[in-house]
Structure 1
């Protein structure tokens, strides 16, 4: 009788580069991804003060193609994607029939008849399956391009300067590219031949800072990564892993699937009611959304505490002797210098200024409900 095989994690097209840089790795949604290169704090502060370079090639890229693509996405997703202009992007959600969140997405309109849907790595199969199932009455094609696509993010106040300093990379008028918009750039992979490869350059990110996300063919990812690192080093650019990405997004109040989002959570509970366009004739989950989650359904709040002890996901939130919520994400904020957390709590305790306690391994830590995000970059 043979022993059960151990699942093999997928490797990023940049895996060899991470090894050469001395990265520590972790399994994330079935991928071996760098969790850190030097220290979590140093990488976090690099993004807040200069720039960080992230490999996020584990994200899923799914094309929706056809003359009816816009109308299809209006029914398949919670937003109104048919109104999106070519060259623009929109944050959206894909819901199940109960109004639960299958995933949160970024949707780019590539042409009049093509959209690019970017999903979380852990939900790639679920999103592809849901979109495919929902094509039954629509003349559209679903094309999962994840395996052929690399995704590199440059985030931080010096992000644009890094791209502009990278001589092998060209993108027009980055200073005029608006947030949640994209343009086409080019990377000269072989200077001797002057041949270039197309790069989709999006002004998007998951850190609370200005920045860009670069989509390109996996075959050329290593070359672009190296060119960015070399050009960005004098500007303070550092390679950054998943640990700093998590504290950055937490400070920015950005939800993470499996923590603040999930099938048991409706958008309004997570503060994402604005993402759902309810005046559309139909979309999957509409009836459940219109009914709502119930008056006692817990809602997402921000919590700030004093001291150095941070509550982690799963820790109870207390009001007196009563458990009124649960932490979904928590950390000692590197930027703010005190513990922060997001939590789902009973709506009776969700008002800004409410005083609660965090149960940190049996110790009660006083905390205050505060507005999200915890951190917002200066204009």
Structure 2
């Protein structure tokens, strides 16, 4: 059995009582206190996540933009320096290689942030489609990534830096910001449905940054958080997880991220024909919300039925900590996705009643 990989913060987990699990070959904390407590901390105060297992790829050279335009479904040419963009890479048939973020540092200098379980596959895909004008460098091992999310995240983080964090708007970033004496690339994208920041630093600086943020936020209720709360938070906000809502057999259009697919951009990109057809005429399947009527929790992979025929499957499901309801995301035949439609989820051999509902399940209060 191969050794599980660890982030630079592994020793901190032990000191903090983090309960670790095998997550895609990584030994990562699923929780520190409890999933529900950490979930509520992010919704009402602030929570700090170690997501250093994510992959970071430097893309440089004169051919960087044409290369990215060929691979990405979104229009990377719209990015200005200091901007971030959510996008996807697809196969010719429209299936998803990965969903990712692209940061533009400068002309001919980009950073792609990819899912941990896909690092090797994504790098192979990128290098396969690169030419001599592009330099692709895996910088994952030397980079640590913390995510600090929640309504009090800005206030707490601001106490550790002289940089005006309000100047970093949604899907923008600033490099070489000093936070707690550490040089950090700070972005504002989020994967929890709350406001907050992503903090990229040298792996060697991760412990200082982690402990400084938790110390600064202790009196305001900030907590260290694990993957369990990260999953329930992103799920309530209808943010996809690769391997569940997105995969080699699920297109971005089916998964509901058509906003990140730009079939009319000038550059041709891999999978364009299929995705253009689906975006214009509708995909055969659609990701939708379901809420249990009968008692039961829909889980990943459970089949969904209507009138005795299987119409799809659950991609993610749980008891929502915020809504206190048993809900799920399900990939269903498009004609079965009207809110209010009665469906049945097979749970432990029984077909239990559910109904189709609108998503996202949770929206952050404004103002």
- Interval of TM-score (by shorter of Structure 1 and Structure 2): over 0.9
Query: 2 CA distance for matches of 1:178 and 1:266?
Result: 29
> Residue 219 of structure 1 corresponds to which residue in structure 2?
204
| Other structure's SS at 1:10 match | coil
> Residue 147 of structure 2 corresponds to which residue in structure 1?
153
| Other structure's SS at 1:147 match | coil
Question: Is the counterpart of residue 239 in structure 1 residue 234 in structure 2?
Answer: no
- Listed as ranges, the matches of 1:230-379 within 5 Å are 230-279=215-264, 280-292=266-278, 297-306=284-293, 309-379=296-366
Offset of residue 69 of structure 1: 1.4
- Is the CA contact 2:293–2:355 (under 8 Å) kept in the aligned structure 1? no
| Other structure's SS at 1:78 match | coil
Question: Is the counterpart of residue 91 in structure 1 residue 109 in structure 2?
Answer: no
Task: Provide closer, same or farther for how the CA distance between residues 128 and 171 of structure 1 changes in structure 2, counting only shifts above 3 A.
Answer: farther
Task: Provide closer, same or farther for how the CA distance between residues 220 and 296 of structure 1 changes in structure 2, counting only shifts above 3 A.
Answer: closer
Offset of residue 306 of structure 1: 4.1
Query: 2 CA distance for matches of 1:306 and 1:199?
Result: 47
1:108 to 103, 108, 114: 103
Question: Is the counterpart of residue 49 in structure 1 residue 44 in structure 2?
Answer: yes
- Listed as ranges, the matches of 1:50-69 within 5 Å are 50-69=45-64
Answer with 306-315 or 173-182: which moved more: 306-315
> Residue 134 of structure 2 corresponds to which residue in structure 1?
140
Offset of residue 296 of structure 1: 7.7
Using the size of structure 1 for normalisation, the TM-score is 0.92
Query: 2 CA distance for matches of 1:222 and 1:151?
Result: 11
- Is the CA contact 1:267–1:273 (under 8 Å) kept in the aligned structure 2? yes
- Listed as ranges, the matches of 1:148-227 within 5 Å are 148-166=142-160, 170=161, 172-184=163-175, 185-189=177-181, 197-227=182-212
- Is the CA contact 2:180–2:212 (under 8 Å) kept in the aligned structure 1? no
Offset of residue 171 of structure 1: 5.3
Offset of residue 308 of structure 1: 5.5
Q: 1:59-80 CA distances to partner (integer Å, 9 max, x unpaired)?
A: 0000110123122211111111
Q: 1:355-377 CA distances to partner (integer Å, 9 max, x unpaired)?
A: 21222213333222122110010
Coordinate RMSD, CA, aligned:
1.6
Q: 1:94-150 CA distances to partner (integer Å, 9 max, x unpaired)?
A: 1112211000001111111211100000001111111111112x5111011000000
| Other structure's SS at 2:300 match | coil
| Structure 1 runs not aligned, ≥5 long | 1-5, 190-196
Using the size of structure 2 for normalisation, the TM-score is 0.95
- Is the CA contact 1:171–1:183 (under 8 Å) kept in the aligned structure 2? no
Offset of residue 278 of structure 1: 0.9
Offset of residue 309 of structure 1: 2.5
| Structure 2 runs not aligned, ≥5 long | none
